[in-house]
A = this chain, B = another copy of it.
Amino acid sequence: MPRRTADQLRPIRLTPHTIIHPEGSVLIEFGDTHVLCTASVEERVPKRLSGKGSGWGTSEYDMLPRATGSRRDRDSRKGRINGRTQEISRLIGRALRAVVDLNKLGENSITVDCDVIQADGGTRTAASTGGCIALAHAIRLLESQGRCKSGALRELVAAISVGIVEDQLQLDLDYRMDSNAQVDMNVVMTASGELVEVQGTGEGHTFKRDQLNSMLDLAFGCLPTITDVQQRAIDTPLSESKVTLTT
């Protein structure tokens, strides 16, 4: 298989309403990375927000033990949460809160669970991108039931990884690329082209400002493709559950 071009995404596949219980759900696939995202609504908020009319949103990310090439032990068996797991959960939570008007949400909490079923690099960006869809479903449901003000979701948010592998820029790193990357960057963007979060890291390498800029160019270049398929998934009616949409 020839290497993708620098600006080429892996195929994205979205299966909305994939689970019957949650207020929103989607199975998102970036190539061989598959993440199940669900949104759960509760009519209460953390104590510090109580009585202020404002809502809250948070996220929890985890991986099934055999989502990866070799089996990793469950955090629950080890009795402590992996640092990486917590870090990614917090990143996704910030990404989603950036596009939610918490005042319009009313005193509701939305928890977006992102569970990696199969991993091949880019799980946190797939989770953020899919999490936005589950969140949108849940907010739409709340709106339709008059349980929150309209416009609580200001716009869509999407995320993609980009890096430098063997001295070459590459969008949307898979696991093999990621393992060999000199620089690995995650970019969280709104549909309107603003930044929510930039996390660029050299692993045993450093990088220059013009490389940072080139990586941002690639990330913003794929934004319309991602937000288009996201929007279609959000607009899929519940009656068409398990229909898969693609880029």
Contacts and interface: CB of A to CB of B under 8 A. Distances in A.
Interface of A: 19-22, 25, 32, 36, 38, 40, 42, 60, 62, 64-71, 74-77, 79-81, 83-87, 89-90, 94, 97-98, 102, 111, 113, 115, 117-119, 185, 190, 194-209, 212, 216, 220
Contact of A77 (B20, B81, B117): B81
B40 A20 contact: no
A126 B199 CA distance: 19
Nearest to A65: B113
A60 B69 contact: no
Contacts of A185: 198
A214 to B, nearest CB: 12
B216 A195 contact: no
A222 to B, nearest CB: 15
A65 to B, nearest CB: 5
Contact of A209 (B25, B79, B81, B195): B195
Given A40-B66, A98-B206, 9 more contacts: A62-B76, A64-B115, A71-B113, A76-B76, A76-B81, A83-B86, A86-B86, A87-B90, A195-B202
Secondary structure at the A interface, as helix, strand, loop or mixed, is mixed
B216 A190 contact: no
Nearest to A112: B66
A56 to B, nearest CB: 12
A199 B198 CA distance: 5
A68 to B, nearest CB: 6
A179 to B, nearest CB: 14
A200 B201 contact: no
B83 A21 contact: no
Given A42-B71, A64-B115, A80 B83 contact: no
A194 B66 CA distance: 32
Nearest to A187: B200
B76 A83 contact: no
Contacts of A202: 94, 98, 194-197
A226 to B, nearest CB: 16
20 contacts: A19-B67, A20-B32, A20-B118, A21-B118, A36-B117, A40-B71, A76-B76, A76-B81, A79-B80, A80-B80, A80-B81, A81-B83, A98-B204, A98-B205, A102-B204, A194-B206, A194-B208, A195-B209, A196-B201, A197-B202
